């Protein structure tokens, strides 16, 4: 019986799967998006399994395991451009684990849909349509998720705080919605977490200044304190600035400060 091998269809399937796995691995590792490089890497590496099949059908012995490892290594290296061998191995291992998980899910779905006495042709068409639909939904989700990750990475900066002899390095969020201004002096007010306030011992050392606020979540008064000095990762500094304490400044627990939009517009330096 003659067996037909459609090289173009096989390449397309490998290309789509390569691209999907690159997307989901990048999302898992918080890797910045580089769609053009991912598409090119997926397209080039999808040629390798096609060559393997053609060579095998021609009677040429191909070391399948070796070529598979080579394909995965080239795909991960070209797509993510790791800085060193340790970073490369970390990305490669995660890529392999996610590939294995995805393959397991596909086999599970195949087992579910193959039950019920359907013909092989009907099953193949149904499984193909469902797979394409699921990949489309996942691609859209991953694209949005990676875009949000990149936005967050650009918006989060390291800040060094010094107050009353205590020094801390924290993560701060640049939020364009923070326009909190002191009604007494007209200066911008930063927002810090209660945990940071406690670690700096603000309530023990200083009397609070009550700053009124008005937001979508409501209105009220925030306790504010003057902190001695801070420096952002770009080198900009500010001295003797106001910081209001909030019990829940961000859903990300790593964020301990929200920068003021007016301060960032002024370049971060003291006047």
Q: Which of 10, 81, 11 is nearest to 45 (CA)?
A: 11
Structure confidence at residue 148 (pLDDT):
62
pLDDT tens sequence for the chain (271 residues): 445 556 777 788 788 888 888 888 888 787 777 888 888 988 888 888 888 878 777 777 777 778 878 888 898 898 888 888 888 888 888 888 887 777 666 555 555 555 544 444 454 555 555 555 666 566 666 666 666 655 555 577 888 888 888 888 888 887 666 678 888 888 888 888 888 888 888 887 677 888 888 776 667 888 888 888 888 877 788 888 888 898 777 656 778 888 876 655 454 444 3
The CA distance from 202 to 224, in Å, is 9
Q: Which of 217, 213, 220, 215 is nearest to 242 (CA)?
A: 213
Instruction: Determine contact, residues 158/254, Cβ cutoff 8 Å.
Output: no
Structure confidence at residue 269 (pLDDT):
40
Residue with token string 């269809």: 9
pTM: 0.48
Structure confidence at residue 145 (pLDDT):
65
């Amino acid at each position: 019986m003659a067996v037909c091998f459609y090289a173009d269809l096989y390449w397309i399937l490998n290309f789509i799967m390569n691209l999907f796995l690159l997307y989901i691995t990048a999302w898992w590792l918080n890797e910045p998006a580089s769609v053009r490089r991912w598409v090119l890497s997926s397209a080039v590496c999808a040629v390798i399994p096609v060559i393997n099949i053609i060579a095998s059908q021609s009677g040429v012995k191909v070391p399948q395991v070796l070529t598979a490892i080579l394909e995965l290594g080239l795909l991960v290296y070209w797509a993510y451009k790791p800085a060193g061998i340790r970073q490369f191995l970390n990305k490669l291992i995660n890529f392999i684990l996610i590939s294995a998980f995805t393959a397991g899910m596909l086999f599970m779905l195949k087992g579910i849909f193959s039950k019920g006495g359907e013909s092989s042709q009907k099953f193949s068409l149904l499984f193909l349509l469902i797979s394409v639909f699921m990949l489309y939904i996942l691609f859209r989700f991953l694209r949005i998720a990676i875009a949000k990750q990149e936005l967050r990475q650009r918006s989060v900066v390291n800040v060094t705080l010094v107050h009353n002899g205590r020094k801390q390095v924290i993560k701060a969020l640049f939020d364009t919605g923070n326009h909190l201004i002191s009604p007494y002096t007209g200066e911008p007010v930063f927002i810090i977490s209660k945990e940071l306030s406690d670690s700096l011992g603000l309530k023990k050392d200083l009397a609070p200044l009550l700053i009124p606020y008005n937001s979508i979540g409501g209105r009220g008064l925030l306790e504010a304190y003057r902190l001695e000095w801070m420096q952002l990762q770009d080198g900009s500094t500010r001295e003797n600035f106001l910081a209001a304490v909030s019990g829940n400044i961000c859903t990300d627990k790593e964020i301990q400060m929200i920068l003021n939009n007016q301060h960032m517009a002024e370049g971060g330096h003291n006047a």
